[in-house]
Amino acid sequence: MADPLSGALPQPADFAPPPDAATRRRWTEADRAQRPARLAALRSRLAAEGIDAYFGMRPEHMRWVTGFTLAEGEEKVASHSGQFLVGADEVILLTDSRYTIQARREAPAAVVDEIGYSLPDRWAGLLARVGARRVALETAVVPHALWQRLEAAAPDVEHVPVDGWLEAMRAVKTADEIERIAAACAVADRALAALLPHIHAGVTEHDLALRLEWLLRTGGAEALAFDVACLGGPEAALPHGAPGDRPVRAGAVLLFDFGAQVDGYRSDMTRTLFVGDPSERDLAVYEVVRRAQLAVIEELEARVSSTPLPDGLALDGVARAVIEHDGRWPAYGHGLGHGIGLATHELPRLGQTATADPLPSPTVFSVEPGIYLEGETGVRIEDLVHLDASRGLLDRLTLFPRTVIALDVGRSSGGGAPSLW
């Protein structure tokens, strides 16, 4: 799986353009067509567990099950709007007056119930409507205080804690979902390519992050997948650091971690670039990280048609073994990767806390090993990978090169030009 580009710095035109209106309409229709099967799978799980209804709160679950959408972070002010109750025969979508019109437009197959702002006051009636004597609630997101109030509001109904049901279902991606993730990757690839001419010693992390955000939003993203990280030199040792007013230094690394959102689906990529002539140490760190990621990709390629598929715990061990065998620097403390889709972090997990269960298929996940040296430097390379065992397919969706890119070489060394090797 070689880099698609070589010999020259990447240009925005090297990557796919944003989706057109017809493509977006096709995706919308695909979601509507797939929702009955999604509900059937959830109801089958409920029946197998002897549970009558499922109460969902996660924004990504709202969209996947009903079609109702909330912007990033909007659930904090939306009260119970968008939360949903799946019974044996119908789906009830909760709203207040701010969201009722939107809910009817986006979720025509659901019963839209304008409950206002107090779910406990309506809880018993909602459960009675769907005939629930046992109801599943998402333990990871239902606040303890709300759980207690719901139990008190319907004392004759058993409230059953569940975790990971819809997450596991969403980990298996349909073709149109993968298309949207790939489109989000292309938006991010183009944006970083367009940013390259603006990277030079003296510009601040904050200004580069702001320009990259502008390039994402004007280049096809409806939103950011998460806040842009731009970290130079020693700050690159912070895996989730935030850009500051620090000027970029010649001879230092510059780490970008960012993603785009297209039609609800996200991308996530990390590239570590060099400003000026790279130091031998930083180049060596980069090479070890590159080899660690490549070892994982090669392991996946070798086993993409095998039964069972590799698991996230073992794949993390493959990457760590490369870094530990080199022996000069410690391996990353975070996970090797994570699933992605309607949420930036979702199943499957790849890392030391992952299970030994085989990866799902078809699915999309990140591969992002790194090395972080406190007070000195940091390197991470992150790509999204599409795995489809039925087709024997392993494909990188992130196409921006993984080769070393050194920018502003002329300014820092008195000659030369930006280079890729």
Beta-bridge mates of residue 383: 367
pLDDT score at 412: 41
Residue 336 structure tokens? 């090797």
pLDDT score at 402: 95
Alpha-carbon distance of 275 to 201, in angstroms, equals 7
Q: Which residues contact 227 (CB under 8 A, 6 or more apart)?
A: 242
pLDDT over 70 percentage in the chain: 95
pLDDT score at 10: 95
Res. 20: pLDDT tops 80: yes
pLDDT digits (tens, 9 = 90+) for 1-16: 334 334 579 999 999 9
pLDDT digits (tens, 9 = 90+) for 298-352: 999 999 998 999 999 999 999 999 999 999 999 999 999 999 999 999 999 999 9
Amino acid at 146: L
pLDDT score at 409: 63
Residue 385 structure tokens? 């990978």
Residue 73's pLDDT band, with cuts at 50, 70 and 90, is: confident
pLDDT score at 411: 52
Alpha-carbon distance of 358 to 360, in angstroms, equals 6
pLDDT digits (tens, 9 = 90+) for 108-141: 999 999 999 999 999 999 999 999 999 999 999 9
pLDDT digits (tens, 9 = 90+) for 212-232: 999 999 999 999 999 999 999
Residue 410's pLDDT band, with cuts at 50, 70 and 90, is: low
Query: Can you list the positions of beta strands (E) in 96-152?
Result: 111-114, 134-138
Residue 357 structure tokens? 């269960």
Q: Do residues 175 and 365 lie in contact, with contact meaning Cβ atoms separated by under 8 Å?
A: no
Mean pLDDT estimate for the chain? 94
DSSP assignment, residue 123? H
pLDDT score at 415: 38
Res. 279: pLDDT tops 80: yes
pLDDT score at 8: 78
Pairing, β 337-339 against β 346-350: antiparallel
pLDDT score at 1: 37
Number of other CB atoms surrounding residue 234 within 10 Å: 19
pLDDT digits (tens, 9 = 90+) for 233-267: 999 999 999 999 999 999 999 999 999 999 999 99
Res. 295: pLDDT tops 50: yes
pLDDT score at 316: 98
Sort 312 into a burial class: Cβ within 10 Å, 0-12 / 13-18 / 19+: buried
Residue 308 structure tokens? 């069972």
Alpha helices in 154-279 (DSSP H): 165-171, 175-195, 205-218
pLDDT digits (tens, 9 = 90+) for 48-63: 999 999 999 999 999 9
pLDDT score at 408: 76
**355-373 CB burial, b ≥16 within 10 A, e <16:** eeebbbbbbbbbbbbbbbb
Alpha-carbon distance of 376 to 145, in angstroms, equals 45
Question: Angle at the Cα of 399 (from 393 to 403), degrees rounded to 5?
Answer: 115
Q: CA of 42: how far to CAs of 32, 51, 166, in Å?
A: 16, 11, 8
Question: Angle at the Cα of 129 (from 125 to 130), degrees rounded to 5?
Answer: 125
* Nearest alpha-carbon partner for 16 in 268, 189, 214, 262: 189
SS3 for 130?
coil
pLDDT score at 3: 42
Alpha-carbon distance of 264 to 69, in angstroms, equals 8
- Does domain 50-170 match CATH 3.40.50.300? no
Q: Which residues contact 140 (CB under 8 A, 6 or more apart)?
A: 163
pLDDT score at 419: 55
Question: Taking the domain 173-420, which CATH number applies?
Answer: 3.90.230.10
Q: Where are the domains of the chain?
A: 50-170, 173-420
Residue 418's pLDDT band, with cuts at 50, 70 and 90, is: low
421 vs 261 pLDDT, higher one? 261
* Nearest alpha-carbon partner for 49 in 125, 156, 111, 137: 137
* Nearest alpha-carbon partner for 113 in 92, 130, 129, 132: 92
Q: Do residues 211 and 195 lie in contact, with contact meaning Cβ atoms separated by under 8 Å?
A: yes
Q: Do residues 124 and 116 lie in contact, with contact meaning Cβ atoms separated by under 8 Å?
A: no
pTM of the model: 0.94
Residue 285's pLDDT band, with cuts at 50, 70 and 90, is: very high
C-alpha dihedral sign at 201, 288, 388, 366: negative
